[in-house]
Amino acid sequence: MKLGKSWLPAHVLVWTYVVLLVVPLYYFLASAFKTNEEIFGSPFAPPSSLDPGNFSTAFQRADLGLAVVNSGLVTACSLILTLALAIPAAFALARSTGRAAAALEKVFSLGFLIPTFAALFPTFLLAAATGLFHTRTFMVLFLPATAMPLSVVILVQFMRTVPAEMEEAARIDGASTFAVLRHIYTPMCLPGIATVLLLNFLTFWNEYLYSLVIIGPDPAQRTVQVALPTLKAITGTDYGVLTAGTILTLVPVWIVYTVLQKRMQRALISGAVKM
């Protein structure tokens, strides 16, 4: 359809919103290279120098280096566990035609409706009861459970597209169930696995409230999302350091987004559509 003159208000409104999205981000990036006086005096001016001093201050004061390692560790281990649980489950559900499997699939797709936040305190009790309170281990065990509904539902859809004849041919050659999963289903569902990995990478890396309550504020264990808000308290109102620290935590996500932009957009959209 043609976009006539009547679209002018629409253009104006949309670009106003875009500016509202960009300005705080620009302000953030610019402030990371400024001192407090410069930030208050001329908030919109570009920085006079690209001095990385704020970054190194943020890095040291909030122990961000260690926090990034912790976040990376928790995210990677949780992703591996998620796949280890979700791939066999999706494989089983996609292949069987029984009533139990259908019911199980329903259970997983209803899981979208359980907001993880609701059970924060009981989960905390569970962590305490298992003796894993204040450990990263509990988060590694817990996060995959929150990811299960989405991961299983996405993978089941991909696995349904694998033709049954391929499995039959492999069976005639004497392949076991495990070999069928490993050599036929997994390679053919790599796009689905990539989608699940991307979506969960984002959620796990960005997870805040559970990490705060369960891993706690110990600098040796805490994740980057828990370390970040402490900058606010530590630095008083040193905005340069605060913004520099925030930017540091965004780098991994931003790299992944830029490299895999198309795939990530598709993944996020499909993730939401499934819900």
Partner 1 sequence: MTTLTPTRGGTALPPPVPSPSAARRRREGGTILAVPALVWYLVFMVGPMAAIFVVAALHWPGMLQPVTFAGLGNVRTVLDDPVFWEAVRNTAVQLAVALPVMITCAYMLGYYVAQRPPGHRVVRYLLFVPGLISTPAKAMVFYAALSPDGLANGALKAVGLGSLTDAWLASPSTALGCLIALDLWSGIGFTAVLFAARLSSVPDEVGEAAQLDGAGHWRTMWRIHFPVIRDYVGVVTMLQFLWTLFGSAQHVLLLTQGGPGASSTTLSFLVYQKAFIAADLGYSQTVGVFLFLIGLVGLLLIRRSFRQTH
Binding map of partner 1 across residues 133-152, x = CB under 8 A, - = no contact: --------xx-xxx-xx--x
205 lies in the binding site for partner 1 (CB under 8 A): yes
201 lies in the binding site for partner 1 (CB under 8 A): no
177 lies in the binding site for partner 1 (CB under 8 A): yes
Q: Which stretch binds partner 1 (CB under 8 A): 49-57, 59-67, 189-197, 229-237?
A: 229-237
**From CA 225, how far away is CA 187, in angstroms rounded?**
34
Binding map of partner 1 across residues 45-84, x = CB under 8 A, - = no contact: ----------------------------------------
One residue of 1, 12, 50, 220 binding partner 1 per CB under 8 A: 1
Taking the complex as a whole, how short is the minimal distance between the CB of residue 84 and partner 1, in angstroms?
8
Grouping H, G, I as helix, E, B as strand and the rest as coil, residue 133 is: coil
Taking the complex as a whole, how short is the minimal distance between the CB of residue 193 and partner 1, in angstroms?
15
**From CA 148, how far away is CA 200, in angstroms rounded?**
10
One residue of 8, 80, 251, 269 binding partner 1 per CB under 8 A: 269
Cβ(244)–Cβ(57) below 8 Å: yes
- DSSP structure class, residue 47: P
Our CB check for partner 1 shows the closer of 56 and 130 to be 130
Residues 230-259 within binding reach of partner 1 (CB under 8 A): 231-232, 237, 239, 242-243, 246, 249-250, 253-254, 257
Taking the complex as a whole, how short is the minimal distance between the CB of residue 101 and partner 1, in angstroms?
5
Taking the complex as a whole, how short is the minimal distance between the CB of residue 140 and partner 1, in angstroms?
11
Residues 92-131 within binding reach of partner 1 (CB under 8 A): 92-93, 95-98, 100-102, 104-126
Distances (CA, A) of 37 to 31, 40, 101, 147, 207: 10, 5, 63, 45, 33
Distances (CA, A) of 81 to 92, 150, 206: 17, 14, 18
Q: Is the dihedral of CA 45, 230, 227, 199 positive or negative?
A: negative
**From CA 22, how far away is CA 30, in angstroms rounded?**
12
Taking the complex as a whole, how short is the minimal distance between the CB of residue 6 and partner 1, in angstroms?
7
**From CA 199, how far away is CA 185, in angstroms rounded?**
21
Q: If 0-12 CB within 10 Å is exposed, 13-18 middle and 19+ buried, where does residue 269 land?
A: exposed
